[in-house]
Amino acid sequence: MKLVRFGEPGAEKPGLIDHNGDLRDLSAQVEDIAGSTLSDLTLDTLRTLDPMSLPKVDRPVRFGPCVGQIGKFLCIGLNYSDHAAEAGMAIPEHPILFHKATSAVVGPDDIVSLPRGSQKSDWEVELGVVIGTACKYVTEAEALDHVAGYCVVNDVSERSFQLELTGQWTKGKGCDTFGPTGPWLVTRDEVGDPQNLAMSLDVNGKRMQTGNTSTMIFTVAQIISHLSQLMTLHPGDVISTGTPPGVGMGMKPEPVFLKAGDVMELEIEGLGRQRQEVTEDA
C-alpha cells in the first residue's frame, strides 16, 4: 500500500493511493497515519479494503509528511562509502547517529526555507524507514519485521552550522523545513528488498546525486538492530539512513550550496518524488 496524509499543514487527513494512482480518503477507517495505525494488525485490516469503495479525492492536493506525530527523527551519517570519500571522512566503524528536530518535518513539496545566516545549505536524498511496532534489543534477522514501510527523505543540511559551530551535527540538521518527508509511506511488503533501490536528486534540473541503497555501509537491518540496543524504537519513529555521493559540499573544484530560487527534485525507486522550492527566512 501507498499511504499518504493530505490537506493543509496541521490538518492533514489519512489516505491511500489506489492502483490507478488516484487518492482515496481513509478518514472513516483511521484517524491518522501514525502510531498504532502503523502496526501489522491495522495495516493488514487496511489491506482488506476495496480502495474503489473509498471516497475519491480530487487532485491537485497538498501532500503532508507521510507520517504524523513523529516521536523520534533519527539520522545516520556517512553511510555510503563514496559519500564518506567525497566528504574526506573515514568510513565509520559503527553507525553515526544524529537527530533532526521534529519541527523540521514538512511535506514532500513544501518550501524549504534557509535560516538566517545560512551560507552552506546542502541537499541529501535518503531512504526513510518508518517503525511500525516497538522494538528493543532486536537482532538483524528480526529487524525488518518491525518496519511499517519506507519513504523518501531530503536531509537538508546547513554545513556551516553542522561543522563550524562548536557542538553536534544536529545544529545544521534540525532547522525548520529541513526534513521533507514523503510523498507516501510504502508498506514493507510492497517494497521488498530495501537494499536495492535507485535514488537520485536534481537541483535546477541538473543531476547532482545518483545512487543505490545497495552501497550502504550499514544495511537497514543493521541500523535498526544497532539503534535498538541503545533505545526503544516506537511506532512512527523515522530513521533516515544516509545519502549517496553528489552533495553540494563535495562538488569539485568548488562546493555548491543552495540559494533562494533553487528547486530540488528527488526520487527513490518505488517511493515517489519530492519537489521543493528554496526561499530564505525573513
How is residue 22 written as a grid cell?
488516484
Q: Which domain holds residue 15?
A: 2-57
Report d(CA 134, CA 132) in Å as an integer.
7
Pair (21, 137) in one structural domain: no
- Of the candidates 124, 134, 121, the one whose C-alpha atom is nearest the C-alpha of residue 255 is 121
Q: Checking DSSP bridges between strand 238-240 and strand 125-131, what pairing results, if any?
A: antiparallel
Does residue 221 lie within any of the structural domains? yes
Instruction: Report pTM.
Output: 0.96
Radius of gyration of the chain (CA): 18
Residues 45 and 81 in one domain: no
CA pair distance 37, 158, nearest whole angstrom = 34
User: Which pairing describes strands 2-6 and 206-212: parallel, antiparallel, or unpaired?
Assistant: unpaired
Asked, for residue 64, whether it belongs to a domain, the answer is no
Q: How many CA atoms lie within 13 A of 264 on its CB side?
A: 34
Cell of 89: 571522512
How would you write the pLDDT of the chain (282 residues) with one tens digit per residue?
999 999 999 999 999 999 999 999 999 999 999 999 999 999 999 999 999 999 999 999 999 999 999 999 999 999 998 877 777 778 899 999 999 999 999 999 999 999 999 999 999 999 999 999 999 999 999 999 999 999 999 999 999 999 888 778 889 999 999 999 999 999 999 999 999 999 999 999 999 999 999 999 999 999 999 999 999 999 999 999 999 999 999 998 999 999 999 999 999 999 999 999 999 998
148/133 Cα distance (integer angstroms):
8
Structural domain includes residue 161: yes
Is residue 60 reached through a cis peptide bond, with omega within 30 degrees of 0 on the bond before it?
yes
Whether residues 203 and 77 share a domain: the answer is yes
Number of C-beta neighbours around residue 258 at 10 A: 23
Residue 145, in any domain of the structure? yes
Same domain, 85 and 192: yes
CA 85/CA 62 separation, integer angstroms: 37
Is there a contact between 61 and 71 (Cβ–Cβ < 8 Å)? Answer: no
Could you tell me if 254 and 204 lie in one domain? yes
Number of domains the chain contains: 2
